[in-house]
Structure 1
Amino acid sequence: MALAAAAAPMLGAIPAHAAGAGAPLQIDVYNPGEKSLFPVSSEIVTGRTGTILIDAQFQRNDAEALVNRIKATGKPLKLVYVSHSDPDYYFGLDTIMAAFPDAKIVATPQTVAAIKATKDDKLAYWGPILKDNAPRALVVPQPLGGDRLTLDGHELRVVGLGGPSPDRTFVSIPSAHAVVGGIPVAANIHVWIADTQTPESRRNWIRTLDRIAALRPLRVVPGHYLANPDGSEPYTLASVKFTRDYLAAFETEAAKAKNSGELIAAMKARYPNLADVASLEMSAKVIKGEMQWPVGVGAASAFPAAGKKALVQFGDIGFRLDFKDDHTMTFVGTSGQYQGATDTVEYEATQIRPQVFMVHWHEPKSGDNVVHVEDFENGVVYTNIAHRNGEFQHLKGTIRIEDAK
């Protein structure tokens, strides 16, 4: 299969329509394709006065190639935005920071919390594999306030923070009619599904893809991809449709398959020419309950608060969270500005690593969408509240399971 060459062409600039915007933005895509462990995408967005980098690559040699690309623009790197918490999105940050020490490095609060919770384990696993291409230091981004980046009057919008899957956001660049960043879209490879282990999480993924399609972008850069068989780049809505169709097919075949072997065979029959069969094999084993993911996580690492009450304190703001079971929770504000506020919600808890979970829910009464990263090992909780009026609230506090009476 033809690979997505590191010299992937620059996406053509499209005249900007944003009020007050200057010259059109240029988007240069770097994806190492089959030359590296992961065919992960980075985007260099160039304006009149500077550049923004979206995602920093996995391997040191690829991060060094990014540095050369950025220097070739002749514009200063103003900001690096890390769009996801997997290490192939941020392991290259130390190389980028060494070359551009004045650039600000940011990510959403959820991504920052997830990186903090998993970075040491990720490096312990991947360091010996990457060897000289491993990061020499781990760089943690600063939390992004809100959901907008700007470059020379153009907005880059982080979409999905207030939705059902805040860990699967993407970046919309309206003036360039482009969607980039994040992990929702793939092309010409088997889609990694092991991180979405419930049917609802996969349905939410499809909703994210539908949201991308509804924007009608002229360019969509998949987060992971290989080039099309004819050597062209898969920067169209066809990649969104491919990912959506793949998820739907996987759901259908998973329901019919008695085991992972049957599921793998069925998906290979549907997609005989896709690369990265290893992702299919692992995803099938995880979804059919034959393998724990993350590796080494067993039944003892189920969500610790399920069936219990947790006390959460953000400074003078307090809550009691009554987790009725593994999907329903009632909360009540016990102090501060939300004292007396209460609602019953459907929540989803996704394990980041043992004893650390991303928990999110929608509140019917307020219309707010809430994300927690709950670290039960250290008693720390981070939250991002996407209010119905479009404002965001970021808090850090403590969490503990209430003693049984």
Structure 2
Amino acid sequence: MKTMTLLTATTLISSTAFAAQQPLTLDVYNADGNSFHVNSTLVYGETEAMVVDTGFTKADALRIAAKVLDSGKNLTTIFISQADPDYYFGAEVLHDMFPQAKVLTTPGVRATIAEKLEGKLAFWAPKMGANAPVKPILPTAYNGKTLTIDGQTIEIRDADGALAHRPYLWIPANKAILGNVAVYGNVHLWMADAQSDASRQAWAQQLDQMKALKPNVVIPGHMTSGTALDASSIEFAQQYLMDFAKAKANSKDSAQLIQTMQSLYPNAGLPMALEIGAKVHMGEMKW
């Protein structure tokens, strides 16, 4: 918690600095390794606030809720950017505490959550115990391409096409990217969800699009404590995708693939992502 608090403090300091010039403030909650280092972001203006992604555990969600309360703003929207449980399991807690806030997501993400929710809950609930949701919230499908906080626009990008289930958010006024599962900061990428060449190519293209925006702020979907909130995480993810493809082509099994990637990224967090991804890609495990 101490490390996480220090990260949050650092984020608030930097956010406050650009909030004086830009209309929205971004306050990042970075979970620990037990919650896959997933990020959630409180976005707020003068009077209104929005939570982007709600954490994995009840404890995560309560810490995010504390940020909302501390901000003193009216929470109008809870936006779920991805269909992975660490992005939406916490919505139950936040919805109970802030019933006035709409829980929204894109149609593509909602469809994926609905398809996999029962299985995800059956798998994770026994492992999470009291930290698991009891009645997970299925977000409302939102067909719009923008959201607003105090009149400022937040764009929903890549909500159609090959990555309709993996969109991201862009705040033009802040030149900020958030709400995504494409960008990782100093952790192994979750390659098990990108098994085909086409899916990895779409991922790489999305990263190229993000980089072309020339963002000032990039909030990765997952990151280790202390990761810089800038475009370096886009470059990290781009390089990792290329390194993984090369290592896979030169590996006979998952053990060799894991060894190669560990040698290239000795300090990367989320080793589970590498272990599962390597086994899936080498045909030793189904995902």
Range class of TM-score, shorter chain: over 0.9
Whether 2:65 is the aligned partner of 1:51: answer: no
| Paired letter, 2:28 | V
| Paired letter, 1:25 | L
Q: Supply the distance in 2 between the matched residues of 1:179 and 1:135 (Cα, whole angstroms).
A: 28
Whether 2:183 is the aligned partner of 1:189: answer: no
Kept in 1: contact 2:112–2:165 (CA 8 A): no
Q: Supply the distance in 1 between the matched residues of 2:35 and 2:149 (Cα, whole angstroms).
A: 32
3-state secondary structure, aligned to 2:163: coil
- Indicate the residue corresponding to 1:258 in structure 2: 252
1:161 to 159, 162, 169: 159
Q: Supply the distance in 2 between the matched residues of 1:52 and 1:6 (Cα, whole angstroms).
A: 23
- Indicate the residue corresponding to 1:116 in structure 2: 114
Counting only pairs closer than 5 Å after superposition, residues 68-147 of structure 1 correspond to structure 2 as 68-147=66-145
Q: Supply the distance in 1 between the matched residues of 2:212 and 2:93 (Cα, whole angstroms).
A: 36
Counting only pairs closer than 5 Å after superposition, residues 178-217 of structure 1 correspond to structure 2 as 178-217=176-215
- Indicate the residue corresponding to 2:59 in structure 1: 61
Q: TM-score, normalised on structure 2? A: 0.94
Kept in 1: contact 2:186–2:227 (CA 8 A): no
Q: Supply the distance in 2 between the matched residues of 1:37 and 1:7 (Cα, whole angstroms).
A: 16
Deviation, 1:13, is 5.4
Identity of aligned residues (%): 35
Q: Supply the distance in 2 between the matched residues of 1:32 and 1:55 (Cα, whole angstroms).
A: 12
| Paired letter, 1:115 | I
Deviations 1:149-196 (A, max 9, x none): 011121111111234322221100011111001200011111110011
| Paired letter, 2:129 | K
- Indicate the residue corresponding to 1:233 in structure 2: 227
Counting only pairs closer than 5 Å after superposition, residues 5-404 of structure 1 correspond to structure 2 as 5=5, 8=8, 9-10=11-12, 11-12=15-16, 14=18, 24-34=23-33, 36-227=34-225, 232-293=226-287
Deviations 1:224-244 (A, max 9, x none): 1102xxxx3321111000011
Deviations 1:24-72 (A, max 9, x none): 11010001223x3321111100111210110011100110111111011
Q: Supply the distance in 1 between the matched residues of 2:182 and 2:210 (Cα, whole angstroms).
A: 9
| Paired letter, 2:216 | L
Deviations 1:62-89 (A, max 9, x none): 1011111101111110001000011111
| Paired letter, 1:141 | P
Of stretches 82-91 and 272-281 in structure 1, the one that deviates more from structure 2 is: 272-281
Q: TM-score, normalised on structure 1? A: 0.67
| Paired letter, 2:280 | V
| Paired letter, 1:30 | Y
Shift in alpha-carbon separation, 1:6–1:58, aligned structure 2, 3 A: farther
Kept in 2: contact 1:49–1:75 (CA 8 A): yes
Q: Supply the distance in 1 between the matched residues of 2:104 and 2:244 (Cα, whole angstroms).
A: 34
Shift in alpha-carbon separation, 1:55–1:85, aligned structure 2, 3 A: same
Q: Supply the distance in 1 between the matched residues of 2:282 and 2:215 (Cα, whole angstroms).
A: 35
Q: Supply the distance in 1 between the matched residues of 2:144 and 2:199 (Cα, whole angstroms).
A: 24
Kept in 1: contact 2:257–2:278 (CA 8 A): yes
Shift in alpha-carbon separation, 1:253–1:164, aligned structure 2, 3 A: same
Q: Supply the distance in 2 between the matched residues of 1:27 and 1:288 (Cα, whole angstroms).
A: 39
- Indicate the residue corresponding to 1:296 in structure 2: none
Q: Supply the distance in 1 between the matched residues of 2:103 and 2:73 (Cα, whole angstroms).
A: 17
Shift in alpha-carbon separation, 1:168–1:108, aligned structure 2, 3 A: same
Shift in alpha-carbon separation, 1:205–1:129, aligned structure 2, 3 A: same
The structure with more helix, counted as a fraction of residues: 2
3-state secondary structure, aligned to 2:133: coil
In angstroms, what is the RMSD of aligned CA positions? 1.7
Moved beyond 6 Å, runs of 4+:
none
Of stretches 169-178 and 36-45 in structure 1, the one that deviates more from structure 2 is: 36-45
Q: Supply the distance in 2 between the matched residues of 1:205 and 1:196 (Cα, whole angstroms).
A: 8
Q: Supply the distance in 2 between the matched residues of 1:130 and 1:198 (Cα, whole angstroms).
A: 31
Kept in 1: contact 2:35–2:86 (CA 8 A): no
Structure 1: runs of 5 or more not aligned: 18-22, 294-405
3-state secondary structure, aligned to 2:78: strand
| Paired letter, 1:276 | L
Kept in 2: contact 1:45–1:53 (CA 8 A): yes
